[in-house]
Amino acid sequence: MEFEKSILNKRSDEAKPVTVADDRNLMTFHCQHCYTVLADSLDVCGELQSLDLVILLKVTDDVVVGDAVMSKDKGEMTNCIHSPLKCSHCHLEVGKILHSSPPSLAPVRSLFLLDKSSISCYILNSSSMVKASGLTFDLQPVSERLAEVKQHFEAHLEKMSILKSRLADMSIIRNKKRR
């Protein structure tokens, strides 16, 4: 892979498909048309499977937010007011931000929603480019994630306690030598 600023110049079609995006599969999101970097997986909140959208907390400066418009879509997007998200290089519409929506979409208001059909994903650990439509972005439930974080912190606390006792022992030895 080669990059020029934020634009991907080459890509590989020999990608091994990844079905679930998680913190072991770090990736960048690219415009399907010109391969400009739009976001990365560290900001993924999940996906709206019914609308085929990836939910993100933030995107790169290469994503331009358009003027708010009334949605012409049917179904879940009826009567929504949103701003289109466009690639700053090729002007392809890559997603939207909802400003006003029915209660069912209230949790994703003001978040970046990238259209999976308009983006590709470069998976860092396998150096492969895949279509976002072939991935799922189901995130682990918060309770499971918190349990992992708790175990991680407890392990660090134990290491710190051991270090603290070693330091205390060393200071006692130093004090005895000084006398």
Rounded average pLDDT per 10-residue block, the chain, 179 residues: 37 42 76 95 87 92 91 77 94 93 87 95 90 80 68 90 90 80
Q: Are strands 81-87 and 69-70 parallel, antiparallel or unpaired?
A: antiparallel
Q: Kindly give the residue spans of alpha helices, DSSP state H, lying in the chain.
A: 142-178
Name residue 7's beta-bridge partners: 4, 36
Strand, coil or helix: 35: coil
pTM beyond 0.85, yes or no: no
Q: What is the pLDDT of residue 59?
A: 95
- Integer angstrom CA distances of residue 127 from 15, 26, 30: 8, 10, 14
Phi, then psi, of 46 in degrees rounded to 5 = 145, -155
Evaluate whether 139 touches 42 at the Cβ level (below 8 Å).
no
Give the number of other CB atoms < 10 A from CB of residue 142. 8
